Chain A
């Protein structure tokens, strides 16, 4: 994304919405040694989002090309009994993929919140420092030279993404890790890698290129328990760190001067958060490919729904999980619907070709939904003059 957009306006501290009621309450543990402020509505929204996630998870266990009714799902989950096909689908495909959708969505949501806060730009994402294009280069290289095993592709993506992010930050680091220079250098490096990527895609075998294409769109198809385990482990480390650093995120949103006035070591905080954001985005991309738009939308939806004064790491994570779970469910449903349509009128010949892999890549759904969402926001705010 190369556009600039207005930074989210810094709002009044304390989360006061002018209603007179306290919207944020302090929470203390261990006689005040650990304390944080809990924005009431944000907590409510996060809890509601988690419930919604659970509902979406259940739904995605039931529906699909091979529908399994809820009681049979319970049997398959807890006792492993019933229809053998149902047991396989529920335990080995739908459950890990639905869990992965939640985990990846949460990681993307938090990384989006981090990058939007430290760049103070609502349209910023890890793309700004070329992470995704580097990850794509790494993944394509691995796909066309080594093979399409998920773990090797993930390793290639992580290596490529990290290397690119490192080079861009190093080139831009004169005068602090921010500002127009970082964006311009990221732009140049992204353009270069884009050329390299399309060169690699055109010079490789069509099969490899098609595999790479599906990976580049972002998909959960074919992911199993090993991906879930890796992702869960990574989040177990990274998410608490992000929650701990959440308060610095809010201070950075106020601008460098105000933040350092509040006693924050701005450059150090920004560096730590950048590393964390890259890590979160990295594990997400490694397990599901560069899924578009969740990182951009989740923090903003969270802020809009919870009317909180700034980004909240927890709410962004919950919202990211909801968004990706919903997109995942819609992807599965879309294909079932298309198959039904195809059976009736023999429309486009896409369904038969994709039998091997009967899940529309979730990146397609998030891209379309994301664009429509952005257009809707734009249309809804048409009265305000600015964006």
Chain B
């Protein structure tokens, strides 16, 4: 593993786009922008297709026409109920958690200048898990929505702790300190989780299903509560694209370009917490998406976050929805959780990409 020395070249993190040759600048820049924009349109089309598939396909056989009419008119039939009460909210939650995880991952990798940083690295997953275990095993909470809020709170508190620990140094929250602080807090919280669950079968019974990450049974109420957090987080992330691009050049150069490093990092941490915390609270810790999608997005677009973020925002929900649809039909009579499918369909593609690329361009 390359030491995170902070130079973009050594860590393979988003650096500035390679400056084109002097004579070609005017000719190629619009072409590249058009290509990237076109790619974005294609991805949006793919995502739309997956949204359609996700409301169409499932255990109950429905014609596409039935689905269409069910969306607009409530005729009280069973099909309408399935589409309106189950599939549509589930698709919306999938869209939001996917986009949130993908964008949170891209921000996380930019702010830690580490291409291997995972949005859960700030302790979000561990904090949310501890809260769930505490809620079920100790204070015996039962309502699904109250557990969602509790785990969101757990994720937020943990991130604050990680941030304070990471920022306690004289140099402030450097990328490496943030990563190590996250690892330290996550490790001890995992120990606490294990301690609370090894002898408590009832709590473990809940935890083992929660840990996979699933969209099943997520209703319209949850989707509505998730919406403001996701929208706010996505907006904040897009606003951070420019300052984070500057920070990618290193702290000194970034400061020289007018970025306030400490404030940008704090804003980025808040963004990741809101996005990843809400997504994890709603669907459980879905791994892989937040780690790998931003990497793939960067391979497709180059290091400019103003492109990486929108690409991640479309690619990640596409993977989540695809995994969810596949999970519904892959094993007859059983429904695979989305978290159990994402890595299984995503990792082979990712590994093939890693094998084909040159070592230097990873």
Q: Which residues of A contact B (CB under 8 A)?
A: 1-7, 119-121, 123-124, 128, 171, 174-175, 179-181, 183-185, 187-189, 191-192, 194-196, 198-199, 201-203, 206, 209-210, 213-214, 217, 292-293, 348, 350, 353-354, 357, 360-361, 363-375, 378-379, 381-387
Contacts and interface: CB of A to CB of B under 8 A. Distances in A.
Given A5-B180, A192-B343, A206 B201 contact: yes
26 contacts: A3-B176, A4-B4, A4-B114, A4-B176, A123-B1, A123-B183, A180-B1, A184-B116, A191-B347, A198-B208, A209-B204, A213-B197, A213-B204, A214-B198, A353-B199, A353-B200, A360-B195, A368-B191, A371-B186, A371-B189, A372-B184, A378-B165, A378-B168, A381-B169, A382-B169, A387-B176
Ranked 3 nearest A-B pairs via Cβ: A371-B188, A367-B191, A371-B187
A367 B169 contact: no
Contact of A364 (B195, B334, B346, B347): B195
B183 A189 contact: no
A191 B121 contact: no
Identify which of A184, A361, A364, A386 gathers the most chain B CB atoms within 10 Å of its CB.
A184
Contacts, number: 224
Interface size classification for chain B: 35 or more
B204 A2 contact: no
B81 to A, nearest CB: 27
Given A2-B118, A187-B116, A292-B187, A198 B211 contact: yes
Nearest to A374: B184
Nearest to B295: A184
A3 B3 contact: no
Nearest to A385: B171
A202 to B, nearest CB: 6
Contact of A5 (B3, B169, B191, B336): B3
B93 interface: no
A3 B114 contact: yes
B208 A202 contact: yes
B66 to A, nearest CB: 32
A378 B185 CA distance: 11
A184 B351 CA distance: 8
B138 interface: yes
Interface string B162-183: 0001101111001011011111
Interface in B86-128: 112, 114, 116-118, 121
B205 interface: yes
A214 B197 CA distance: 9
Contacts of B205: 206
Interface in B191-215: 191-192, 194-195, 197-201, 204-205, 208-209, 211-212
A367 B194 contact: yes
B14 interface: no
